[in-house]
Amino acid sequence: MGKIALLFAGQGSQYPGMGKDFYENSPQVKAVFEQLEALRPGTMEQCFNGTKEALSITMNTQPCMFAVDYAIAKAVQERGISVDAAAGFSLGEIPALAFAEVISLSQAFELVCHRAAVMNDAAEKYPGGMQAILKLPADKITALAETFSDVFPVNYNSPEQTAVAGAPEQLKSFAEAVKAEGGRAVPLAVSGAFHSPYMNAAAESLADYVQNIDMQQGVCPVYANRTAQPYTVDTAKELVSSQVNHPVQWVKTIEQMMADGADCFIEVGPGKTLSGLVKKIAAEAQVYKVENTADLDALLQSLNKA
């Protein structure tokens, strides 16, 4: 086996009860949740007992997802799995940076709370939407988007799927253009046009905010959504702030991690979105997900056999 990489889940995979199984069965996870609860009271209640509606509000989603992603990653590490690299999808990049000790846990959590607030504010001031485009290659989607003034390719998820963001009225016309080309547009249940110029104000606020955060060389490489290359001390502040108004280069990220020796990917956090995308990008890779203790037990058994 080559290198093991952790993938930190992003916004959209949240659900009520996430993380509770680990909280009840892992002292280390319990300690993580209680530390974050002290910084943002109500986080555990929202994760374990919150409603789907409450968890879908960006102000709640991002800190709750951070807590679950990071806690599960620590549980994986606690069980003796040595992690060689990490990446996170959008929001997931922040707990990945905390896990790799680029940013301290408390500062990373406070950063994600600020990130949620400024992205929510930008979405309210500049309303937009998002769609996942299926059955068309990324270059075709990009070329099609260039014929619209307010539609932007934002998430290069897999060779078969690219998300776009932009003005709601233009997205309707874009969906028709996609259909005419043989593709399919699926509206996404999000509150804004994330990773597009609609988030410029959020990026500017984050750029100011991160100047007061200490960033170190990570204990393992964290691959950036923007560049598909590992973070460095010199690039960290710019990358983490500009990430919100630039596309997520997920296909290139996984390809680069593979090129650098990773062949086993473990998704940590709610859902299985990222593990599904990896299977479409790199069919030869070993792919696992861990969102509960049963998943972790199964992972350990598989790795012991490998």
DSSP state of 81: P
- Residue 55 CA: distances (Å) to CA of 18, 45, 62, 112, 157: 11, 11, 9, 15, 23
164 and 71 within one domain = no
What percentage of the chain has pLDDT greater than the value 70? 99
User: Do residues 158 and 132 make contact, with C-beta atoms less than 8 angstroms apart?
Assistant: no
Rounded Cα gap, residues 116 and 72, in angstroms = 21
Strands annotated E in the chain: 3-8, 85-88, 129-134, 151-158, 161-166, 184-187, 222-223, 262-268, 286-290
Say how far residue 219 (Cα) sits from the centre of its chain: 20
136 and 105 within one domain = no
Kindly give the pairing relationship between strand 222-223 and strand 85-88: parallel
User: Do residues 213 and 146 make contact, with C-beta atoms less than 8 angstroms apart?
Assistant: no
* H or E element that contains 244: none
180 and 201 within one domain = no
Which of 153, 168, 187 is the C-terminal boundary of a domain? 187
278 and 139 within one domain = no
User: Do residues 93 and 39 make contact, with C-beta atoms less than 8 angstroms apart?
Assistant: no
**Tally of domains in the chain:** 2
Question: What is the reported pTM?
Answer: 0.95
- Amino acid letter at 163? A
User: Do residues 293 and 79 make contact, with C-beta atoms less than 8 angstroms apart?
Assistant: no
215 and 299 within one domain = yes
Q: How confident is the model at residue 82 (pLDDT cuts 50, 70, 90)?
A: very high
- Model confidence over 24-51: pLDDT tens digits? 999 999 999 999 999 999 999 999 999 9
User: Which distant-in-sequence residues (6+ apart) come within 8 Å of 244 by Cβ?
Assistant: 115, 119, 194, 195, 199, 202, 203, 206
91 and 30 within one domain = yes
218 and 119 within one domain = yes
27 and 119 within one domain = yes
Angle at 118 between CA 112 and CA 122, to 5 degrees: 140
Q: 224 by DSSP, 3-state: which? A: coil
- Residue 70 CA: distances (Å) to CA of 9, 21, 66, 185, 234: 10, 14, 6, 32, 24
What CATH number corresponds to the domain at position 289? 3.40.366.10
What CATH number corresponds to the domain at position 155? 3.30.70.250
Angle at 217 between CA 87 and CA 23, to 5 degrees: 50
User: Do residues 196 and 154 make contact, with C-beta atoms less than 8 angstroms apart?
Assistant: yes
133 and 181 within one domain = yes
- Model confidence over 151-198: pLDDT tens digits? 999 999 999 899 999 999 999 999 999 999 999 999 987 889 999 999
Phi, psi of 5 (to 5 degrees): -120, 140
170 and 55 within one domain = no
Q: How confident is the model at residue 306 (pLDDT cuts 50, 70, 90)?
A: low
Which of 167, 187, 207 is the C-terminal boundary of a domain? 187
Rounded Cα gap, residues 54 and 63, in angstroms = 12
Q: How many CB atoms lie within 10 A of CB 182?
A: 9
How confident is the model at residue 191, as a pLDDT? 83
Identify the bridge partners of residue 164 per DSSP, sorted by sequence position.
Answer: 131, 153
236 and 176 within one domain = no
What is the average pLDDT value for the chain, to the nearest integer? Answer: 95
Which of 137, 155, 187 is the C-terminal boundary of a domain? 187
112 and 138 within one domain = no
Rounded Cα gap, residues 9 and 61, in angstroms = 12
User: Domain range spanning residue 232?
Assistant: 3-124+196-305
Angle at 130 between CA 9 and CA 132, to 5 degrees: 70
User: Which residues are part of the catalytic machinery?
Assistant: 90, 195
- Model confidence over 233-270: pLDDT tens digits? 999 999 999 999 999 999 999 999 999 999 999 999 99
